[in-house]
Structure 1
Amino acid sequence: MAYYPVWSADVLPPEHINFSRVDWIDFAFAMPNETFGLNWDGSDNAPGILMRLVNVAHQQEKKVKLSVGGWGGSRFFSPAMNNYNSRQAFVKNIALVYDQFHLDGIDIDWEYPARPGDPRNYVGSNDTANFLEFLRLLRTTLPSTARISAAVPATPFSDANGQPMKDVRSFADVLDWILIMNYDVWGASSNPGPNAPLSDACKNSTQPAASAEAAIKAWTAAGVQPSQLVLGVPSYGYISTSQASRLRQRDQNASLPYVHALTDEGADNGQVQFRELVRQGVLCRDATSPERYVGCGGFTREWDPCSSTPFLRSEAGQLITYDDAQSLELKSAYAKENGLLGINIFDVHGDTNECELLDSLRLGLGL
């Protein structure tokens, strides 16, 4: 599985996606608006791009879901879920888009019910209860063949008191699968940490819940079967200004301006795609290296054993936290060992043209 954001179409047109490596594509994003309809994120060309994506995917017998929300698109979720009438209107509008584009499913990426996300978001104490009622209505409105997923943080949904729910089986009953977003744990900082930790192997993190291992344990403890979980992994990293020689395992308190020596190619908030690290000569292929890539162009590749992720550092004071084929294979192998449904990468256009990240994920899954 992979996300395909609308803003990636210039770099990776839908027709150039290698569908032999994925079964599902999530088109990102449609955003709830103040009248409980949907706006498109990032481009007036989104409807045309989505239609092209659906057409080429279906030609290859692959499936497409529309992802609704995202970090910058969750502002109006709470009002849209607030009461029966708003939920009815919102579901009706989603169903219209579902039919219009011949979709195979809907992904709800609400960041986050009953807890802060983007500062512009509306947040209510009854968000999570309202979300469940919305999902039940969406389930009965869409065709029985439609797949419905939710993208979630490392800890279960917040209850009315702002605490993680201890039992989310009611959500599992109505969702086909739950995608754990195991990324953006640390961003850019003078004391950087890993973007997507596999685990807290050194037992010294002040964010011990923010790893793939901890998140899977938290959601299964709350009642979700592993076979209903998908692990979300990144194809991007963060550039920091830092002289650090190792990654911290402490909470991020302050961030610095992003360094744009490496271009973003459509990425958000100064993130850098893996393909850009390769294209700009910061990472070089090395067939003799078990890591498959080594640092070059003045960068040295290091390995953080606490999070099982690589990072790059330069004498000029740049440090890049990211994931590569080695770390992603470890994550997908962990997912397989623990009986998860699969892996979803955010996003497909961050991979190289040779699909090296997708291939590493498939290798870890035994495919």
Structure 2
Amino acid sequence: MLRSLAVVASAASLLVSSAAAYGAGFTGSTVLSAYYPSYQMAPADVPYSRYTHLDYFVFTTTPDPAVISQAGISDSQIVDFVTRAKAAGITTSYTVGGWTGSQYFSTHVSTAVGRTTFARTLLAVMQQYGFDGIDIDWEYPGQQGIGNNVVSPNDASNFLLFLQTLRSLAGPVRLSMAASVAGIMGPTGAYLTDLSGFAAVLDYVTIMTYDITGTWSGFTGPNAPLASACSPGGNQFSIIGAMTAYRNAGFAPSHILVGIPAYSYSYYVSAPLTVTTCPDGSRTTLYQYASSGSTCGTYIGNNGQYLYSQLWDSGYFGNFAGYRRSIDLVSRTWILWNRATGEFIPTEARGTLWYKARTVRGARFGGINVFDASGDTADNRFNAALRIGLGLDAGSVSSLALRRRATLHAKLVERRGGDGISSLAL
């Protein structure tokens, strides 16, 4: 893992000097952004000043490139969000697409007329509500997402043509995209190794380094692993791996945002836990498997999602009855497991958030984009750990305290062979 970090940091130092040649809305400052989920969070509840940028989520595509859908959200709520953000001095983009809203991207970008019409539509909506930019979240070019999307082998090339059209019409506004941890699929079914054309017209790319393992996987594992040394052979995605891949494909590190989830997946796992010895010698209980279906072996089923705030407010990181707490050092993931009920929750905690943010900062990448703002606690614990790791609150008393606790925690766990139990609620 340390070798991978060194490679990322070395490459970042070589490319950061050329960053100004990329998108026209690039700030050059460390970014801590989040998606604002309009469907489950009121504008009044957003701690605007805790972020440097916010992405309004979400508008969706329709069969007509001249129309995008507000997904049932009222004009007044959208205006309220933008007004509050401007009052706090925070820039905003709006996201179009998402898991449920990407159905017609392929159709709209397949012709020159469609690309121009769609670009003008997106700009008109940006101007109507006073957003500062546009974020494209096509899930996914060249491959199926939710199940009913239009897909073409020409999606990647047409997507690039569309972004070039959008940039030429938009001028110096913030243009960004969210992209799969695996990359963008090309016409042959292989992921593109050259994304320099995309980098030339975009200010930022958010790598969706979450949902790497989930309740659909057939085994337990980390939502957003830092590294993948212990991961199953077919699931070798990680934050460090994605950072390296996008940098190698042509994005300057300072234009890359790492996605961090404010939610966790929950499973049911029967005792005893299977302990795996990783190639680096560390041990982990993070990966539990079912030998057949979902009733054999130790992994026996799924239990939905938790927001970070739900776990914290319910005491899962403290003295919540029956929960054993351990950490996987390779992926930097906390594991909460209740032997009696079988509930098994790989999750982020303040220490893992701080460590991942510090990794992003140390490699001189652009920053972090959280999905989503509704997952934090009322006192912004999730956000605070990221700000400290990114150096946005480097001089605060809480920063020094968290660093001391995180360092102590790492030493304790490493002495216990990577599978230690700690009472530190980071």
Bin of the TM-score, shorter chain as denominator length: 0.7 to 0.9
8 Å CA contact 1:4, 1:26 repeated in 2: yes
Q: Give the Cα separation in 1 of the matches to 2:146 and 2:260.
A: 21
1:254–1:160 Cα change, 3 Å? farther
Does 1 or 2 have the higher relative contact order (CA < 8 Å, sep 6+)?
2
Given that 2:49 and 2:90 are in contact with CA atoms closer than 8 Å, whether structure 1 keeps it comes out as no
Query: SS of the counterpart of 1:61?
Result: coil
The residue type paired with residue 248 of structure 1 is Y
**Per-residue displacement from partner, 1:184-204 (whole Å, max 9, x unpaired)?**
0111266311111010143x5
1:106 aligns with 2:134: yes
Counterpart of 1:138 in structure 2 is 166
1:96 match: 124
Alignment-mate amino acid for residue 48 of structure 2: F
Q: What CA distance in whole angstroms lies between the structure 1 residues aligned with 2:288 and 2:58? A: 32
Partners in 1 of 2:311 and 2:111 — Cα distance? 47
Question: What is the number of residues matched between the two proteins?
Answer: 340
Deviation at 1:257, TM superposition (A): 6.5
Aligned-pair distance for 1:354? 0.7
1:351 aligns with 2:376: yes
Conservation of the 8 A alpha-carbon contact between 1:206 and 1:251: no
Unaligned runs of 5+ in 1: 260-269, 284-292
Instruction: State the partner residue of 2:99.
Output: 71
What residue number does 2:18 align with?
Answer: none
Partner of 1:6: 38
Residue 330 of structure 2 is aligned to residue 306 of structure 1: yes
Cα distance change of structure 1 residues 316 and 346 upon mapping to structure 2, 3 Å threshold: same
Distance 2:98 2:122 in 1: 15
In the TM superposition, what are the counterparts of 1:185-200 in structure 2 within 5 Å?
185-188=212-215, 191-200=219-228
Deviation, 1:250, is: 8.2
Amino acid at match of 1:22: Y
Moved more, 245-254 or 161-170: 245-254
**Corresponding residue to 1:271 among 302, 305, 311:** 305
Change (3 A) 1:96 1:339: same
| Letter in structure 2 aligned against 1:35 | D
Assess, with a 3 A threshold, how the Cα gap between structure 1 residues 7 and 77 changes in structure 2: closer, same or farther: same
Structure 2: segments with no counterpart, 5+ residues: 1-32, 274-284, 295-299, 393-426
State the shift of 1:335 in Å. 0.5
1:197 and 1:251, CA in 2 relative to 1: closer, same or farther beyond 3 A?
farther
- Shift of residue 209, structure 1, vs aligned partner: 4.0
Specify whether residues 96 and 75 from structure 1 end up closer, same or farther in structure 2 by C-alpha distance, changes over 3 A only. Answer: same
Letter in 2 for 1:3: Y
Indicate whether 1:332 and 2:357 are aligned. Answer: yes
* Preserved contact between residue 239 and residue 320 of structure 1 (Cα < 8 Å): yes
1:17 aligns with one of 46, 49, 52: 46
1:53 matched to 2:48? no
1:306, 1:298 → 2: CA distance? 25
- Residue 93 to residue 252, structure 1, CA distance change in 2 (3 Å): farther
What does residue range 243-322 of structure 1 map to in structure 2 within 5 Å? 243=270, 245=273, 246-248=285-287, 258-259=302-303, 270-279=304-313, 281-283=314-316, 293-294=317-318, 296-314=320-338, 315-322=340-347
Residues 300 and 321 of structure 1: is their aligned pair in 2 closer, same or farther, counting only changes over 3 Å?
same
- Residue 175 (structure 2) aligns with: 148
Cα distance change, pair 187–254 in 1 and its aligned pair in 2 (3 A): farther
- 1:194 partner SS: coil
For residue 322 of structure 1, report the CA deviation from its aligned partner. 1.8
- Of 46, 70, 78, the residue aligned with 1:40 is 70
Asked whether the equivalents of residues 267 and 344 of structure 2 are also in contact (C-alpha less than 8 Å), the reply is: yes
Structure-1 separation of matches of 2:353 and 2:53: 18
Q: Give the CA deviation at 1:215.
A: 0.3
Whole-Å separation in 2 of the counterparts to 1:339 and 1:354? 28
For the residues of structure 1 that align with 2:49 and 2:288, how far apart are their CA atoms? 37
How far apart are residue 254 of structure 1 and its match?
7.1
The alpha carbon displacement at 1:8 in A equals 2.1
CA distance in 2, matches of 1:88, 1:55: 29
The DSSP-based 3-state class of the residue aligned with 1:332 is helix
Q: Deviations over 1:83-123 (max 9, x none)?
A: 11211221121111111101100110111100222111111
Q: After superposition, give the CA deviation of every residue in 1:213-266 in whole Å (9 maximum; x if it has no partner).
A: 00011111111111110101000001112226321188999788643xxxxxxx
Q: Which amino acid aligns with 2:58?
A: F
Structure 1 consecutive aligned stretches of length 4 or more whose deviation exceeds 4 Å = 249-258
- In structure 2, relative to structure 1, the CA distance for the partners of 1:208 and 1:225 (3 Å cut) is farther
253 and 304 in structure 1: CA distance in 2 versus 1, 3 angstrom threshold: farther
Percent identity between matched residues is 32
Deviations 1:307-349 (A, max 9, x none): 1111211121111122121111111111011111111111111
